[in-house]
Each structure stands twice: as structure tokens, then as C-alpha cells.
Amino acid sequence: MTEQREGFRGWAARRGRALSLLRFTSLRLRLVVVFALVALTAAVSASGIAYWLNREAVLTRAQDAVLRDFQQEMQYRAGALPARPSQDQLQHTAGQMAGSSQRFSVLLVGQDTNGRTVYGNSGGLSGFSLQDVPQSLRTAVNKRQPLSSANKSPYHLYWQRVVRHGTPYLVAGTKVVGDGPTGYMLKSLEPEAKDLNSLAWSLGVATGLALIGAALLAQAAATTVLKPVHRLGIAARRLGEGKLDTRLRVSGTDELADLSRTFNNAAEALEKRVADMAARDEASRRFVADMSHELRTPLTAITAVTEVLEEELDSESGGIDPMVEPAVRLVVSETRRLNDLVENLMEVTRFDAGTARLVLDDVDIADQITACIDTRAWLDAVELDAERGIHARLDPRRLDVILANLVGNALKHGGSPVRVSVREAAEEIVIQVRDHGPGIPEEVLPHVFDRFYKASASRPRSEGSGLGLSIALNNAHIHGGGITAANSPEGGAVFTLRLPRDASALAAERAEKAESGKDSGKSDGKGAGPKEAAR
């Protein structure tokens, strides 16, 4: 049973490959079929015309020779008979006439001296008889024609082609002038029919050879036409895969060569445009990275001053003028926000430059979520549904960033309580963060992970940077996971985080790519881009 199933699968696979090849070469097949149909039509038409012309020529030549010989025999031998011949005389004369060069059968019909109709047959009693002559031919032969200047003879020679038992025959008859006997002739056309059949077979073979030749020529022509098209398809696929240096070899001056030149020009323009865009994007990333680094120095001093001001605000001595206190509190909060924005921008530049790395550790998911919530004093507003003992090898810092952004976003824009649940799948950990707010508008759902995107219709303006969810998604991606956003049927928004149980392989791959990128950056004299901040 297993062997039968494997055999069926093999047959199905071969059939699928054959159908795929048929679909792939449909244009080739159409070209071959069109060439073959044109060749078949031309060959059949030419063969049909040639057969018809040769048939008429062969039959007419044989027929004319037989009729001429028969007419001469009737004139010289049957015309020499008496007006009232006996049966023996008719029989003897019919035998003599049949012995001519054309070898036809003869039947003579006359009246003896007693007025009886007598017959003379060259083939004896079982030979050619009057019943073998069509009635229409007998009537025409015995009909007397009026004499005129155009018609010198009252009786004419008539002939007709008949088929007996599958064999064609020529039947002719005429009457001797002066009430002489009437003569009929029967000549087999079987040799001519065999010649015509041989001709038909020859023309059929020629038609088949012409069809095969046309198919071969069509295959060669299709290959000539489709090979450049196939190369163009391969080049287009390579171009779509990002290999912008792909070019076609151009030869000739036909339309396919023009198409190849057009493709090369388009590929060259696309490569130049992509290179320009990449250069501008790299310059933009470097500007953001440099700006973030440059901002950290003055921000450090500003942060130190704001910390002193904040201590003065919290002290009982009242060192801050009550009239200035609101402004001081605004400076402190905006300084914190600016610090967060700079840190987020630096994180974004690391993701864009591909230098973000994973520092893996064995993590208990429930403990990690509890620590994240406890650190930010969200215990009263968050419900945790997670069993201890669910372990994964992840980057704890990046997981903390993901959870902080998702839970913080739910608390800011949704409604309490926020519920965080954890479940295990086959090879991944699934964490859901659900709030009890109004949910996310359908038009906003596709953009919730976009940078600096803030919905103003259903969600109030955030004090954040607009980068939190984007950074959370990037952190999930470098683990090999992802985040999706949706609305719960019971109300509220649901963010679903999926992370692999072990990101070691992906971390090693990213580290290898980062090292190769760093080496290539050193070799071409370019900087390696922004570096990961020390932890």
C-alpha cells in the first residue's frame, strides 16, 4: 500500500512538472501550432490540387487512347460486317476487336436475317453483357441525331465511368452508320487507379514530411525568439531580487535587441536611483545618529540641573519660589521627555543600521513581566495571567522594552484594568496585552506601529515620542518574532506578542552579519554607523 501511494505521488509530481512545463512554454507551443497549421494547410491544398490535376490527366490520357482505339475498331471491323450479321459473325468480330492494343471487352448487338437480336461477346457467355451498360448510355448511343452542317454523323460515341465491386471501369458505345451493329466497350481502369493511389500516398507522405519540417522550423524559430525573452525574464527576476547590476547582452538590431537595450537602460537608471536613495537614507540616519550623540552631552548637564531642581521642589525648605514652581516642574518633565526621545532615536538608528544585537539569557517569562510591572509601579493597574516555569532564551532588556511599551500604551490609551496573559505554543511564547478602552479605529490599525504616528480621533495626544510601538516591533523582529494589533470582541485593544523559545541561532546570524558589515565598512573607508550603547 505504501509503495502504491509513493508511486501515485511520483506520478502526480511528474504530471505537475509536465503541466508546469506546458504552461511555461505556452508561447512556444502556440508558435509551433501556428507554423504547423499553416504548413498543413499549404501542403494539403497543394497536394489536393496536384492530385486532382494528375488524376484528370491520367484518366483523360487513358480514356482518350481507349476511346480512339475502340472507335477505329468499330469503323474498320464492325463496319465491315453485313447489315444482317449472324451471331457467329458478331462473336468473331468482337473477339478480333478485343485483341487490340488496349485490351478491352467488346459487346456487339445486331439483328440477323430473321429480325432477331443477336449478340457477340468477346468474353463468352460469362463476359461483358448488355446489363453491364448503364441504361442512360444505351439510350444515348441508340438515339439518332439530326444531320446538319455541324453534325455529319447521325450516331455518336458516348462514354461513362462506372464502379463495379470497387473497381473503376470505362464504358463506351456507338452505332455503325447505315443500320449496322451497335458496339459497346468495357475497359478496366484499375491500373490507373493504382497509380493514382500511389500518387495519393506519395502526396500524403510529402504532406507529413512538410508538417514535420514546419514543426522543426517553428521550434527553431521559437527558440530563436524565446531565448532572449527567457533571458529577459531571468534578468527581471534577478532585478526584482535586488541584484541591480543585472544586465543583458545585446546583439543585433531587431526588436528583441531594442527590448534588451531598454531593459539595460531601465536597470541602470533604477540602480542609480536606488543608490541615490540609499545614500540619502544613509545620510539621514547618520544625521539622526550624530544629532542624538551630540544632544547627549548638553542633556547630561541639563539633566543634572533638573535633578537638583527636582530635589529642591521635593524638599521641605521650600527653596523654589511658588511663582516659579510650575515652570520648574515643566522643565523637569520636558527634560525627561527629551531624554527619552534621544534614547529612542538612538535605538531606532541602531535598528536601521543593522547594528542592534541580542544579549541572550534564560528568562522566566512570568518573572520578567512581574519585574517590568513592579519597576514601573503598575501592579495595581495590571492583571497578570502567567504560570511560572515558562522559560525562553531571549534578551531580557529588549523583552522589558517590549513589555513596557505595550503595557504603557494600554494604560495610556486604553482602560484599566490591563490584562497580560501568557501561553505556550509549539516553538514560541505568546503574550497578550489587552486593555478595556474604546479599542483602535479600523483606519488606525494599519498604522499603529508606524513611527511618530498618533491617532487623535479616539485616543488623546500622547506625551511620548511616537516611537514606542515601532521600537517594540523592531525588538520583536530581531528575536525572530512579531507583534499584531487587533480589537477584542468584548471591547478594548489586544496586542499579541509572539517570540521564539530560543533566539540563539538568529542572534548568531545577526552577529555574523554585523561583523561582516563592519569589515566591509572598514575596507571601503566608510564608517560603521552608530554603535550599540553600553549596557
Q: What is the mean pLDDT of residues 461-476?
A: 74
pLDDT band at 420 (very low <50, low <70, confident <90, very high): very high
Angstrom CA distances, 431 to 420, 474, 475, stand at: 7, 16, 14
Q: Which amino acid is at 418?
A: V
Alpha-carbon distance of 429 to 482, in angstroms, equals 11
CA distances from 122 to 101, 126, 246, 533 (A): 15, 10, 91, 125
pTM metric for this prediction: 0.47
Name the grid cell of 259. Answer: 527590448
Q: 427 versus 299: which is more confidently predicted?
A: 427
Helix (H) or strand (E) holding 382: strand 382-385
Residue 110 CA neighbour count, 13 Å, CB half: 28
> What does the block give as the cell for 519?
569589515
Q: Phi/psi at 108 (nearest 5 deg)?
A: -110, 135
Grid coordinates belonging to 533: 550603547
| Residue tagged 545618529 (cell numbers) | 289
Mean pLDDT of 282-289: 72
Burial of 311 (0-12, 13-18, 19+ CB in 10 A): exposed
CA distance linking residue 148 with residue 145, whole number of Å: 9
Secondary structure of residue 333 in the 3-state scheme? helix
- Judged against a pLDDT cut of 80, whether residue 485 lies above it is answered with yes
Mean pLDDT across the chain, nearest whole number? 78
Q: Check residue 430 and give its pLDDT.
A: 92
Cell (9 digits) for 217: 522550423
pLDDT score of 416: 75
Which positions ≥6 away from 2 have C-beta within 8 Å?
Answer: none
Place of cell 540563539: 504
Identify the DSSP state of 502: B
Q: What are phi and psi of 494, to 5 degrees?
A: -130, 120
The per-residue pLDDT for range 86-130, each reduced to its tens digit, is: 888 888 888 888 887 778 888 888 888 888 888 888 875 557 888
Lowest mean pLDDT among 148-162, 208-222, 264-278, 505-519: 505-519
pLDDT at residue 312, rounded to an integer = 72
248, 264 Cβ separation under 8 angstroms: yes
Residue found under cell 455503325: 176
Q: Is 495 helix (H, G, I), strand (E, B) or coil?
A: strand
CA dist., res. 85 & res. 113, Å (int):
7
Q: Is the bond leading into 154 cis (omega within 30 degrees of zero)? A: no
What is the secondary structure of 414-479 as a DSSP string? S-SPEEEEEEE-SSEEEEEEE--SS---TTTGGGTTSTT----SSSPPPSS-S-HHHHHHHHHHHT
Cα 289–chain centre separation: 46
CB contact at 8 A, 435 and 413: yes
Pairing of strands 482-487, 418-424: unpaired
In the predicted model, is pLDDT for residue 5 greater than 70? Answer: no
User: Does 384 have pLDDT greater than 80?
Assistant: yes
> Cα separation of 483 and 465, whole Å?
19
Tell which residue, 436, 434, 437, 451, has the closest CA to residue 485: 434
pLDDT score recorded for residue 62: 83
DSSP 116: -
